[in-house]
Amino acid sequence: MNDCRYSIVIPTLNERDNMEPLLSRLESCGLKNYEIIVVDEHSPDGTLEAVQAYAEGKPYIRGMLNDGPRGLSPSIVKGFSAAKGEILCCMDGDLQHDVKDLTGLLRTAEEYDMVVGSRYVAGGGFAERWNPVRILISRTAAGMAWLLLGVTVRDPMSGFFAIRRTAFEAVRDKLSPRGFKIMLELLFLLTCEQAGRITEYGITFGRRIHGESKLSIRVMGQYLQMLFELRRRRRRQP
């Protein structure tokens, strides 16, 4: 694939059994001019090896190791920095983000600086009844991002988004190296500093079948800490 327009970056930690179904769905979803970059966090279950085996003879699929600072955000930044496309997309490696939503999200990204996949706008939702506690947590997190940072998108925690390369490059050096919710940070930087054109696109969130969620109480604590750090940054701006 010589003319690469879309780069799909997938961060992974112990997602071996999800790789073959995800990669094959991506290959057959009708997308053209794309590449797939899986950035793995030293997964002990052999995720990277599974990707590399799948990618044999397919130059448009790459698996790489996050050999820099550990974490979700650094992995995504590494993938975006290695990407060749003009539109950079991040999606989870656990099949909770539905490949069926990808082409619509990327089509929308042609018109904006950033498109956030959202469960809480028209066309979005959950594939099956979702744990009400997790919905409450994600809606509270979104409300706090709005109150504290002025980020108005309804689902800044979805983790499924696309950003124009030029918009990413404009803010890359300001990203915190140890963050885990890069989407929120990008939204904050684009909203507060760049007057970026941002929109949401309805996505359907699926249930995890293989592997485990890494979201925990500790992660929620980090999220709050990050909201307050970004808020302090906003105050310091003239």
Ligand X SMILES: Nc1nc2c(ncn2[C@@H]2O[C@H](COP(=O)(O)OP(=O)(O)O)[C@@H](O)[C@H]2O)c(=O)[nH]1
State the residues that interact with ligand X by CB under 6 A. Answer: 11-13, 15, 39-41, 66, 71-72, 75, 92-94, 96, 159, 213-215
Work out how close the CB of 2 gets to ligand X at its nearest, in angstroms, rounded to a whole number.
28
Query: What, of Mg ion, ligand X, none, does residue 51 touch, CB below 5 to 8 Å by kind?
Result: none
> What residue 15 binds from Mg ion, ligand X, none (CB within 5 to 8 A, per partner kind)?
ligand X
HSE-CB for 232 with a 13 A CA cutoff: 5
Give the C-alpha separation, 35 to 43, whole Å: 22
11 binds, among ligand X, Mg ion, none (CB under 5 to 8 A by kind): ligand X
Count of CB atoms situated within 10 Å of the CB of 165: 15
76, 74, 44, 79: which is closest to 63 by C-alpha? 79
Q: Could you tell me the smallest distance in angstroms from the CB atom of residue 235 to ligand X? A: 29
Is 12 near Mg ion (CB under 5 A)?
Answer: no
DSSP-derived letter for residue 122 is T
Report the distance separating Cα 183 and Cα 155, nearest Å. Answer: 10
Closest to ligand X by CB, 1 or 202? 202
Q: Which does 138 bind (CB under 5 to 8 A by kind): Mg ion, ligand X, none?
A: none
> Can residue 94 be called a binding residue for Mg ion (CB under 5 A)?
yes
CB nearer to ligand X: pick between 12 and 191: 12
* Single-letter residue type at 215: L
Task: Give whichever of 36 and 196 is closer to ligand X, judged by the CB atom.
Answer: 36
For residue 195, the minimal CB distance to ligand X (Å) is 29
Please say which residue, 218 or 236, places its beta carbon nearer to ligand X.
218
96 binding Mg ion? (CB under 5 A): yes
Distances (CA, A) of 160 to 30, 104, 133, 166: 19, 12, 21, 19
Smallest gap from Cβ 154 to ligand X, in A, equals 16
Q: Shortest approach of ligand X to residue 117 CB, angstroms?
A: 12
Residue type, 197: R
208 closest CA partner among 138, 154, 127 = 127
- How many helices (H) and strands (E) the chain has is answered by 8, 9
